[in-house]
């Protein structure tokens, strides 16, 4: 595996890239080789929660379902936090049951996220996708056992250079999310910021991938 894309909404079918494609329970594409599946806080439909969770659980039994998510908490939307938290916690229980990592969407709710991880004693890896906050928040997350994935905002905001450099080499991933640029561009920028080669970044990500996902590819 030359490149691993932790989170994307578009499968590009490149032989040298493993893409963890985000899927939703009601919009599932079985042709995608590797994917995560979850209820995004934006798309919680109260009457459908149990049905969606049942679909997620069925997919978690498949070998090419690598993670639960994206799921999480978002304080900038209308959906009540109590409902978001309930849906998130149910997905965390499934992740624990099936021993799958969790790809997390978190907006303005990092303290709540850390509290839930502690309260539920979650032991599977939890990965914050699309990180865009400052170094103290990143440090607090790493100190509490989270992994941090960079992509869109790393490309868009130069101020994230110092944040990215502050994250330990065994705790980061790279992704594209919804941007047009390929994952190679994210790797190149990450290498530039760390002051190392793209090959060294590849080795780090591959090592982190093996640690988190427990499969050799």
Please tell me the predicted confidence (pLDDT) of residue 25: 97
| pLDDT > 70? residue 171 | yes
| pLDDT > 70? residue 124 | yes
Please tell me the predicted confidence (pLDDT) of residue 110: 98
User: Please, what are the domains in the chain?
Assistant: 3-213 (3.20.20.140)
| pLDDT > 80? residue 216 | no
pLDDT tens digits, 101-117: 999 999 999 999 999 99
Mean per-residue pLDDT of the chain: 97
Please tell me the predicted confidence (pLDDT) of residue 190: 98
pTM: 0.97
Please tell me the predicted confidence (pLDDT) of residue 217: 64
pLDDT tens digits, 8-40: 999 999 999 999 999 999 999 999 999 999 999
Please tell me the predicted confidence (pLDDT) of residue 215: 86
| Average pLDDT over every residue of 155-167 | 97
Please tell me the predicted confidence (pLDDT) of residue 94: 98
> With pLDDT > 90 as the criterion, what percentage of the chain qualifies?
98
pLDDT tens digits, 33-50: 999 999 999 999 999 999
Instruction: Tell me, letter by letter, the H, E, C secondary structure of the chain.
Output: CCEEEEEECCCCCCCCEEEEEEEECCECCCCCCCEEECCCHHHCCHHHHHHHHHHHHHHHCCCCEEEEEEEEEECCCCCCHHHHHHHHHHHHHHHHHHCCCEEEEEECCHHHHHHHHHHHCCCCCEEECCCCCCHHHHHHHHHCCCEEEECHHHHHCCCHHHHHHHCCCCCEEECCECCCCCHHHHHHHHHHHHCCCHHHHHHHHHHHHHHHHCCCC
């Amino acid at each position: 595996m030359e490149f691993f894309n932790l989170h994307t909404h578009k499968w590009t079918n490149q032989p040298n890239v493993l893409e963890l494609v985000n899927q939703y329970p009601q919009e599932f594409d079985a042709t995608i080789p590797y994917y995560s599946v979850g209820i995004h806080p934006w798309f919680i439909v109260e009457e459908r929660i149990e049905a969606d969770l049942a679909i997620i659980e069925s997919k978690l039994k498949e070998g090419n379902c690598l993670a639960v998510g994206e799921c999480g908490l978002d304080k900038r939307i209308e959906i009540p936090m109590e409902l978001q938290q309930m849906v998130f916690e149910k997905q965390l229980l499934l992740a624990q049951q099936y021993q799958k990592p969790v790809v997390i969407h978190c907006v303005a709710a990092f303290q709540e996220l850390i509290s839930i991880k502690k309260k539920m004693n979650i032991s599977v890896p939890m990965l914050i996708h699309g990180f865009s906050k400052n170094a103290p928040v990143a440090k607090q997350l790493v100190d509490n056992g989270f992994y941090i994935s960079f992509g869109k905002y790393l490309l868009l905001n130069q101020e994230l250079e110092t944040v990215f450099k502050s994250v330990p080499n065994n705790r980061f991933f790279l992704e594209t999310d919804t941007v047009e640029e390929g994952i190679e561009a994210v790797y190149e920028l990450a290498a530039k910021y760390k002051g190392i080669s793209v090959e060294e970044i590849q080795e780090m990500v591959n090592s982190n991938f093996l640690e988190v996902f427990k499969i050799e590819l």
